[in-house]
Amino acid sequence: MKKVLVLGGTRFFGKHLVEALLQDGHDVTIATRGITEDFFGSRVKRLIVDREDEKQLTERLTDKSYDIVYDNLCYSSNAAKIICEVLRGKTKKYVMTSSMAVYEPALSLSEEDFNPYEYAIAYGDRNDFNYGEGKRLAEAVVFQQATFPVVAARFPVVIGENDYTKRLQFYVEHIVREEPIAVNDLDGKLSFIHEEEAGEFLAWCGMKDIEGPINACSNGVVSTREIIHFIEENTGIKSLIQEVGDHVAPYNELTNCTLHNGKANELGFPFRGLKIEIEKVLRYYIHAMK
């Protein structure tokens, strides 16, 4: 049994991470601002803390240490610097949720396509950078400065029934309501991972003897055209696709950006098939609109 701290474990795939850790019998503490209610009951311990407040985080973690710390809330170099300071001597391993956004868009991106160990660091908060640059800098800080082993799990777009961004849901809603969708590249390829699989992968990263950046995505790729076609087939409603318009489709700027998951695959993580996962989520959204 490992003693585990999860920073941000009450939303989306964070819930699945906590659930996977509990299923495996670990002693789990979740640290959040206490705004989002969780349903873990007495199965977890709780810390109420602002992840980006170094003084408060230091106080809350006084006299505490953990085998593994998971961080779902690291979006900037300043946030990463805080974690390097606060966790010094307090953990045997740190697993950060990172993103495909650290890469320049390309097909079959491998871990070597972005090297955080040599990336120049500029300090700032989340609002000082776009999402991708924030994640690049966060990785650079933890890999260059942490005094403990670090894993950065690089996820593509995460999909699922609990996705509060409603990006995949956008397609279903617009087609069912017969509203136009503006898409530049219908055939551009995309990688995805299901929320449950993302949580399971993070749990696995903590338990495996691995360090460094690691890609995670479901097996296979999908295009916007395939997503739209599936919705049309399962609703009997024809989509209204435009090249330009007000209703710009989510992922429009992300097409032709896919991950290669060979490293994790070789280390033994059993990725799911993307086609099955995305169709399951689309069916859920379609059913919800009936």
- Vertex 212 angle, CA 252 and 218, to 5°: 40
CATH topology of domain 159-191+219-257+273-288: UDP-galactose 4-epimerase; domain 1 (3.90.25)
Residue 24: per-residue pLDDT = 97
Residue 253: per-residue pLDDT = 82
The label of the residue with tokens 């280390």 reads 267
Alpha-carbon 272 to chain mean position:
16
Contact assessment for residue 20 and residue 44, using Cβ atoms and an 8 Å cutoff: no
Domain boundaries, the chain: 3-156+193-215, 159-191+219-257+273-288
Residue 70: per-residue pLDDT = 98
Residue 137: per-residue pLDDT = 99
Contact assessment for residue 30 and residue 18, using Cβ atoms and an 8 Å cutoff: yes
Residues in CB range of 175: below 8 A, 6 or more apart: 181, 228, 231, 232, 235, 237, 239, 240
Residue 52: per-residue pLDDT = 87
Class of CATH domain 3-156+193-215 = alpha beta
Residue 11: per-residue pLDDT = 85
Query: Identical fold at 3-156+193-215 and 159-191+219-257+273-288?
Result: no
* Helix locations, the chain, DSSP H: 13-23, 54-60, 77-86, 131-145, 167-176, 195-207, 224-235, 262-266, 274-288
Q: Residues in the chain with pLDDT < 50?
A: none
Residue 254: per-residue pLDDT = 81
Reported as a single tens digit per residue, the pLDDT across 225-257 is 999 999 999 999 999 999 888 899 999 888 899
Residues in CB range of 224: below 8 A, 6 or more apart: 183, 185, 186, 187, 188, 190, 249, 251, 252, 255
